[in-house]
Amino acid sequence: MAYSYDNSRLHGLPDGVVFATCHEDVAVVLGLAHAHGVPVVARGRGTNTVGSTVPSAGGIALSLERMTRILDYQPDDRLLVCEPGTLNSSVQAQAAADRLFWAPDPTSAAYSTVGGNIACGAGGPRAVKYGTARDAVLGLRAVDGTGRSLRTGCRTSKGVVGYDLTRLLVGSEGTLAVITEATLRLLPQPEQKRTMRAAYATVDAAVAAVARIMRQPAIPCAVEFMDDEAVRLARAYSALDLPERTHALLLLEVDGAESSIAHDVAAIEAAARGEGLLDWQSAASVEDSVALWSARKALSPALRHLAPKKVNEDVVVPISALATLIRELRGLSKRHGLPIVNFGHAGNGNIHVNILADPDDGAQMQAIDACLSDVFNVVLSLGGTLSGEHGVGIAKRDFVAREVDSDTLDRMHALKAVFDPKGILNPGKTLPGV
């Protein structure tokens, strides 16, 4: 039962659970599963939010949580090789000893695994400056759906020999191969970090500021956005000191060299200032930084308290379309009678759309599917994409054909057949019709 669900709250009971301890274990399991046509779902710690690690077709839940070894660490080459069950936080701790870090920083970083981060293409707030998992992996070792092993990529930051199978596997949610080893690209830690908060009278004013900030050369390492509903909730559930007329909030972080960070902060403050800015605060200490982030940290518990049934989507639109997206979402909230709270990584247009519903309210529960469908239609009409970092899994699979045309989907199905001819790897996930 413990391996029948993930953080999506979807369920599917496996017929058995196998705890792999090494690459060879995975190869044996997949070879046997291929021979007998048994479905296999690989998983780390089950933090996925779209059902990617739910054994919806039964079969084997292949747990990689015991594969936690750091196999190689070369700070001079800025790389670390680890097994897929290694926690993101363990990688960060090892790298921090030499003032390095791995870019992906999902909210679950303390307890999510590297394999899971790679499989769903995790990002986080600092992706706006440092990229997502696709930008942070140099190479992989994996086992395909027949039990055959493969290595992709290299140990250098440049390399164009052969097809780029590394980036193909990143974000494939275990439908093409099971990752058993990852060579991670590390980055130098910045010398300094500064946190700022900007309160705006309107969502449009905040979004216009995001566009100005992202057009100038001093790139922030985080640009977090909260709409008027998110601000209202944060006020109710935290000691938030904001002007009364605040209807949108930006939380910004800048990192860099000691010699240049003051200049970068000034540049971002200048870009943030404009019509609609009500208040600007800059943290002078670590304690001040924690206080400025308190509003954002208060949101998740507030949402859990208000709506036990919460649908959290991670759509992405071009920055120029952010204001239109928020306006359209307000309209959908009224039309479907469902509260919608929006916050997220505005610097790359990645917004977490939280549709709230009361499980005891039959009308609200019935309205969720239609509202979600309309949300995705709006996102695609604005030139956006259905997922920026959570993946597709079960939750978004049936909407993929709205974004990806049939000819392209045919090629994706053909690739799936090459890696997994019997379709045993994570069946029913990512691609419609699989």
Structural element, H or E, at residue 236: helix 228-237
DSSP 138: E
Which CATH number applies to 307-416: 3.30.70.2740, 3.40.640.10, 3.90.650.10, 3.20.20.30?
A: 3.30.70.2740
pLDDT in tens, 176-219: 999 999 999 999 999 999 999 999 999 999 999 999 999 999 99
CA distance 46 to 10: 11
> Residue ranges of the alpha helices (H) in 354-405?
362-381, 400-403
Mean pLDDT in the chain?
A: 94
| pTM to 2 decimal places | 0.93
Is the pLDDT at 83 greater than 90? The verdict is yes
More confident residue, 14 or 305: 14
pLDDT in tens, 107-145: 899 999 999 999 999 999 999 999 999 999 999 999 999
Instruction: Decide if 151 contacts 163 (C-beta within 8 A).
Output: no
Is the pLDDT at 277 greater than 90? The verdict is yes
More confident residue, 432 or 235: 432
- Judged by average pLDDT, the poorest of 28-32, 261-265, 293-297, 370-374 is 293-297
Is the pLDDT at 292 greater than 90? The verdict is no
CA distance 68 to 241: 43
Is the pLDDT at 358 greater than 90? The verdict is no
Radius of gyration of the chain (CA): 22
Is the pLDDT at 98 greater than 80? The verdict is yes
158: pLDDT confidence band, cut at 50, 70 and 90? very high
Strand partners, 280: 198
Where are the chain's structural domains?
16-63, 70-188, 191-305, 307-416
More confident residue, 288 or 315: 315
Query: Which strands, in side-by-side order, build the sheet including 222-226?
Result: 277-282, 192-200, 248-256, 222-226, 340-345, 350-357, 309-316
Is the pLDDT at 396 greater than 80? The verdict is yes
**Structure tokens given for 135:** 């930008």
Among 68, 127, 140, 136, smallest CA distance to 100 is for 136
pLDDT of residue 361: 86
pLDDT of residue 242: 87
CA distance 5 to 50: 11
Structural element, H or E, at residue 357: strand 350-357
Residues, the chain: 434
Among 413, 434, 411, smallest CA distance to 424 is for 434
> What kind of architecture, by CATH, is found in domain 191-305?
2-Layer Sandwich (3.30)
**What residues have CB less than 8 Å from 320, skipping those under 6 apart?**
211
Domains 191-305 and 307-416 share a fold: yes
pLDDT of residue 295: 75
Q: How many CA atoms lie within 13 A of 73 on its CB side?
A: 17
Which CATH number applies to 70-188: 3.40.640.10, 3.30.230.10, 3.30.465.10, 3.40.50.12280?
A: 3.30.465.10
CA distance 303 to 299: 6
434: pLDDT confidence band, cut at 50, 70 and 90? low
pLDDT of residue 314: 93
Is the pLDDT at 321 greater than 80? The verdict is yes
Instruction: Decide if 7 contacts 49 (C-beta within 8 A).
Output: yes
381: pLDDT confidence band, cut at 50, 70 and 90? very high
- Judged by average pLDDT, the poorest of 106-115, 230-239, 245-254, 405-414 is 230-239
